[in-house]
């Protein structure tokens, strides 16, 4: 069944019992929560995802629970648990869904060393993937959100999973994490997108999550061949400049942005080499989302010619 | 009842008949007990890995990859250590994980490691400490109380951390705290050390002593987060060394000589009870000399049967928290005399309530 096939009340029940098994290809996550708004946010963001029967195997058992204690009567807080063990500090209850998202990212990044996991957004068009690595603030989530509203398929805005056996990129097609000014930028750019209510005062500022496009969710289990690595560089007032980036430099950047590069040893070195070797490497400086998307479309059509 | 992870490690062929739900539980228990990589190693060795369902298999592969990396890092760290200490003419004895890895023991297969533990003669400890400092290791505990706690009462100096690599080293001068109720015959321990081939200046304990140390460590430990994993270490040492000639003959007399017959008794008792470790009947009988009084024996059975299990909700039965608490108290009780204990625990409790920090990104985790 799809999440959209459940009523919100049914979801509340499943979450309370910890019987919600969400299929985030390639992972299955079992979620438990007693937070009032969790069912609403899940039904909003994961509408097009499938659930799995309760007796299935789950990769990660997670829960987001209200903290007990007098202090929490005044200012309710929630906490993320990984298989029964608290794994983050408690946060205000309004951040519960965002915390679930961050917690899931951590679960994947810390336990899935059959992939090389890179801190980067990934989008795809025509079977070819563009990897957007970058420091926080470089605009990769915004650019990713823009691209997937203009014909590119979403793999991930945060975690690129590189399968070292077949050189394909995967990404789960989960909700896109938008921060601060980019929330309004995307609302204006694509008014039809569905977002959670913005939550202010998180460690990342104001945060809202954007529902992934249905087509992307349906194709989530299809990997994409790496074709481009584009380093986004938002610079206010700048003309769009797509510049070729040296491979050695790109290699170092990818290695640095890979969560488990060191764990793979020589294999990780070869994998980054493989990924960079298969990709055209660019650096895109931009100030307007439309310019940036045009530059991506040119990359794509240029490669078809 | 035996937990799924223990059953699976004892008989890997059972894995082929598990349902999805059982796999789900097995991976969780294995992850929590830090035994997932050991299971992965075993099934890979037996050629069963490809027959394991796709989803759980990836978790096994992932855990094994992590541990192989730690193993490699451990070898590198020992090289660095040796470079720092090779010219001072002190015998450096590797303990626990570092010893299992460097001596290529099967116990190291699929075993996660973090810190290096070394044993050096007490008279050389300041020399070793200053030499380590010259080579980039720094002590972390600066306050007077911690310094006194370690230097006066414990069997080690405060843990040191390398400034650039971030790796930790514990430097011991014996294997039990100075203040402990049981006294170890440390000079005899040093007489038995064995040079590590290819590494001048590095030593490991003899097989019998290595086992006795492992037993002493586990059965003096108060926080048995990795209790089952450590019991599997003992099981592996028994099985491996048990095949070498003279091991069983030397075991009990040596335990008497070092003053470690009590921990040996517990090791034999709980390895045979929980993991069916093959130990000769006559050894079991003689080791009974180390048995505590009947009432204490019953309490210990009660506690360890509960505490030597994964700290996972599926392994919690009635009395588990009580058992863990009692073993925690016991570990302190045998570590130092009552007046010191009272002082130490009071201070620890007061400090915990004032220095609790909420800004750490993760609370402690399984990894």
Tell me the H-state helices in B162-226: 186-191, 207-218
> What's the predicted TM-score (pTM) here?
0.91
d(CA A226, CA A242): 18
Q: Say which DSSP state B119 is in.
A: E
CB A112 to CB B62 under 8 A? yes
Asked if B55's CB is within 8 angstroms of A28's CB, the reply is yes
Domain positions in chain A: 3-111, 115-304
- The beta-carbon neighbor of A55 closest among B20, B56, B367 is B20
User: Coil, helix or strand for B22?
Assistant: helix
Query: Running DSSP on this structure, what letter comes out for residue A88?
Result: S
Encoded tokens for B49: 């890995």
Condensed to tens digits (0 to 9), the pLDDT of residues B281-300 reads 999 999 988 889 999 999 99
d(CA A272, CA A258): 9
Phi-psi region of B236 (alpha: psi -120 to 50; beta: other; left: phi over 0): alpha
Q: Cα Rg for chain A, rounded, in angstroms? A: 19
And the tokens for B141?
């505990």
| Cβ atoms of A247 and A197 closer than 8 Å | no
Question: Considering CB atoms only, which of A28, A88, A112 is closest to B362?
Answer: A88
Question: Which has the closest alpha carbon to B62: B37, B83, B27?
Answer: B37
CA distance B105 to B85: 24
Distance from CA of A294 to the nearest CA of B (A): 39
Q: Nearest C-alpha of chain A: how many angstroms from B70?
A: 8
Beta carbons of B21 and A57 less than 8 Å apart: yes
pLDDT tens series, chain A, 305 aa: 999 999 999 999 999 999 999 999 999 999 999 998 999 999 999 999 999 999 999 999 999 999 988 777 788 999 999 999 998 889 999 999 999 999 999 999 999 999 999 999 999 999 999 999 977 778 889 999 999 999 999 999 999 999 999 999 999 999 999 999 999 999 999 999 999 999 988 888 899 999 999 999 999 999 999 999 999 998 889 999 999 999 999 999 999 999 999 999 999 999 999 999 999 999 999 999 999 999 999 999 886 54
Partner residue opposite B363 with nearest CB, options A83, A84, A86: A86
Predicted complex ipTM: 0.93
CA dist B153 → B146, B147, B174, B318 (Å): 10, 10, 12, 35
Burial tier of A40 (Cβ tally within 10 Å: 0-12, 13-18, 19+)? middle
**pLDDT beyond 70 at B320:** yes
Q: Is there a contact between B61 and A114 if contact means CB atoms under 8 Å apart? A: yes
Residues 197-256 of B with CB under 8 A from A: none
Chain A residues closer than 8 Å to B66 by CB: 113, 263
Does the structure show a pLDDT above 50 at B132? yes
Return the closest-CA partner of residue B184 out of B250, B124, B263: B263
CA–CA separation, A4 and A217 (whole Å): 13
Candidate from B31, B62, B365 with C-beta closest to A113:
B62
CA distance A175 to A158: 10
User: Domain coordinates of chain B in residue numbers?
Assistant: 4-354
Helix (H, G, I), strand (E, B) or coil at B28: helix
Cα(A265)–Cα(A271) distance, rounded to whole angstroms?
Answer: 10
Q: What are the tokens at B301? A: 């059975």
CB atoms within 10 A of CB B151: 13
Q: Give the tokens for residue B114.
A: 């973090």
Q: Tell me whether A291 touches chain B (CB under 8 Å).
A: no
User: Could you tell me which of B323, B329, B325 has the C-alpha nearest to residue B304?
Assistant: B323
């Amino acid at each position: 069944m799809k999440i959209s096939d459940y009523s919100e009340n049914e979801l509340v029940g499943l979450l309370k019992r910890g019987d919600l098994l969400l299929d985030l290809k390639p992972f299955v996550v079992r979620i438990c929560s007693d937070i009032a708004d969790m069912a609403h946010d899940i039904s909003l963001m994961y509408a097009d995802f499938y659930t799995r029967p309760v007796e299935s195997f789950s990769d990660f058992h997670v829960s987001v629970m209200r903290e007990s204690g007098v202090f929490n009567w005044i200012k309710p807080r929630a906490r993320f648990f990984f298989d029964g063990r608290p794994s983050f500090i408690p946060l205000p209850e309004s951040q519960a869904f965002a915390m679930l998202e961050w917690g899931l990212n951590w679960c994947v990044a810390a336990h899935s060393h059959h992939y090389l996991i890179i801190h980067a957004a990934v989008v795809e068009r025509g079977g070819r993937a563009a990897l957007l690595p970058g420091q926080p603030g470089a605009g990769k989530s915004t650019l990713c959100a823009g691209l997937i509203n203009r014909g590119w398929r979403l793999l991930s805005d945060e975690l690129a999973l590189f399968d070292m056996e077949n050189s394909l990129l995967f990404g789960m097609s989960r909700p896109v994490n938008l921060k601060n000014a980019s929330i309004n930028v995307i609302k204006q750019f694509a008014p039809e997108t569905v977002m959670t209510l913005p939550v202010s005062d998180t460690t990342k500022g104001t945060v809202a999550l954007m529902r992934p496009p249905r087509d992307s969710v349906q194709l989530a289990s299809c990997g994409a061949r790496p074709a481009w690595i584009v380093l986004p560089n938002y610079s206010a007032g700048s003309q769009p400049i797509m510049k070729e980036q040296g491979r050695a430099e790109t290699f170092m950047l990818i290695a640095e942005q890979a969560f488990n590069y060191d764990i793979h040893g020589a294999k990780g070195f070869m994998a980054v080499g493989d990924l960079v070797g298969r990709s055209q490497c660019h650096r895109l400086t931009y100030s307007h989302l439309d310019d940036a998307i045009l530059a991506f479309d040119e990359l794509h059509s240029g490669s078809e010619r | 009842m035996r937990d799924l992870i223990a059953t699976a490690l004892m008989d890997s062929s059972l894995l082929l008949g598990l349902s999805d739900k059982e796999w789900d539980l097995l991976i969780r228990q294995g992850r929590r007990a830090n035994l997932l990589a050991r299971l992965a190693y075993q099934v890979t060795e037996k050629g069963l890995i490809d027959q394991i369902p796709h989803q759980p298999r990836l978790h096994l592969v992932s855990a094994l990859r992590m541990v192989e990396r730690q193993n490699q890092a451990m070898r590198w760290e020992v090289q660095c250590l040796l470079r720092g200490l090779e010219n001072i003419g002190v015998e450096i004895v590797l303990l626990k994980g570092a010893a299992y890895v460097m001596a290529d023991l099967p116990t190291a297969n699929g075993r996660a490691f973090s810190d290096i533990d070394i044993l050096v003669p007490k008279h050389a400890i300041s020399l070793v400490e200053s030499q380590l400092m010259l080579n980039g290791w720094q002590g972390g505990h600066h306050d007077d109380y911690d310094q006194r706690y370690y230097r006066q009462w414990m069997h080690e100096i405060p843990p040191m951390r390398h400034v650039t690599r971030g790796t930790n080293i514990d430097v011991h001068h014996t294997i039990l705290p100075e203040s402990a109720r049981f006294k170890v015959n440390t000079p005899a321990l040093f007489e038995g050390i064995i040079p590590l081939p290819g590494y001048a200046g590095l030593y490991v304990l003899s097989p019998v002593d290595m086992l006795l140390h492992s037993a002493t460590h586990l059965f003096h430990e108060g926080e048995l987060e990795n209790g089952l994993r450590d019991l599997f270490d003992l099981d592996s040492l028994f099985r491996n060394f048990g095949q070498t000639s003279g091991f069983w003959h030397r075991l009990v007399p040596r335990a008497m000589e070092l003053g470690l017959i009590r921990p040996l008794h517990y090791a034999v008792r709980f390895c045979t009870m929980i993991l069916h470790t093959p130990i000769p009947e006559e050894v079991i009988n003689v080791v009974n000399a180390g048995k505590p009084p009947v009432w204490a024996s019953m309490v210990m059975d009660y506690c360890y049967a509960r505490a030597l299990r994964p700290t996972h909700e599926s392994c919690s039965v009635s009395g588990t928290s009580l058992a863990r608490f009692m073993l925690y108290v016991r570990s302190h009780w045998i570590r130092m005399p009552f007046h010191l204990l009272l002082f130490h625990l009071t201070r620890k409790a007061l400090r915990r309530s004032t220095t609790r920090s909420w800004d750490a990104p993760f609370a402690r985790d399984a990894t």
